[in-house]
Amino acid sequence: MNDVDPASALRLWHASAPGAVVLDGFHALKHALRFGADVRLAVTSDKESVLALAAELADDLTGALRRSLVEVPADDLRELVPKVHPTRVAALAVRRGRPENLAALAAAPRRSPVVVLDNPRNLGNVGAVVRLAAGFGATGVVTTGDLDPWHPNVVRAGAGLHFATVVERLAPDDFPPGPLYALDPEGADIRSVLLPDDALLAFGSERHGLSAELRARADTLLALPMRPQVSSYNLATSVAMALFHWGGPN
């Protein structure tokens, strides 16, 4: 894309933005590129600074960024995104298709768990869970309810790592196969259970907990160790503890 001039880049952005995934900042673009995202356009108001940052933090991508980044005036960049990231980078990528995601979730044998977020409410927390799932090598993150796990604020919090794992919204009837372990205060201590690689690990929202439907579907209820009189952990912390107990990337 090195032959795209600034004016053409702006027209392409406005034409492509509806339905595209906005990658906000250098690290989001870095992760998306590393995990095979179809990045249609990447812009910056200071290309040399971005290339210097790449040379320091992600030299495997320096050449690709040198070829693909389009430098636009700072005022134009401010018009493209609600708030310019400190690294002065923004990009548009294609959202992964639902059929591709469903196939990846259903593939057997599954070698790492699927994280299930039951009707989550906080966009930032969902993004943090996507980052955790990507880091631990989980097969994916599935949400129930109305929240779109590809909402721009979730993608921002996920730092481009939606492309490193499966991220999809499903009804419980459409869950992939595998034993369902639901985190619940009344469950057995998670430390007493060996989590299989094909597990579905379900977490309720911080305020409301698991829905009655998902709790009833669970094959096993598990509880995280917690000091008496402490009411709950942050959602991302709970997911991290469960994935760490499973074992993480090999």
What is the model's pTM? 0.91
Q: Give the model's pLDDT for residue 9.
A: 86
Beta strands in 109-248 (DSSP E): 114-117, 140-143, 166-169, 180-189, 200-203, 220-223
Distance CA 189, CA 222 (A): 6
Beta bridge partners of 115: 141, 201
Q: Which residues, at least 6 apart from 6, have a Cβ–Cβ distance to it below 8 Å?
A: 70, 71, 72, 73, 76
pLDDT tens, position by position, 92-119: 999 999 999 999 999 989 999 999 999 9
pLDDT tens, position by position, 68-91: 999 999 999 999 988 899 999 999
Q: At the topology level of CATH, where does 6-93 sit?
A: 60s Ribosomal Protein L30; Chain: A; (3.30.1330)
Q: At the topology level of CATH, where does 98-246 sit?
A: Alpha/beta knot (3.40.1280)
- Tell me whether the CATH fold assigned to 6-93 matches the one assigned to 98-246: no
Q: Is the pLDDT of residue 48 over 80?
A: yes
Phi, psi of 220 (to 5 degrees): -145, 135
Domain ranges of the chain: 6-93, 98-246
Question: 41: burial class by Cβ within 10 Å (0-12, 13-18, 19+)?
Answer: buried
Distance CA 142, CA 24 (A): 23
Q: Give the model's pLDDT for residue 207.
A: 72
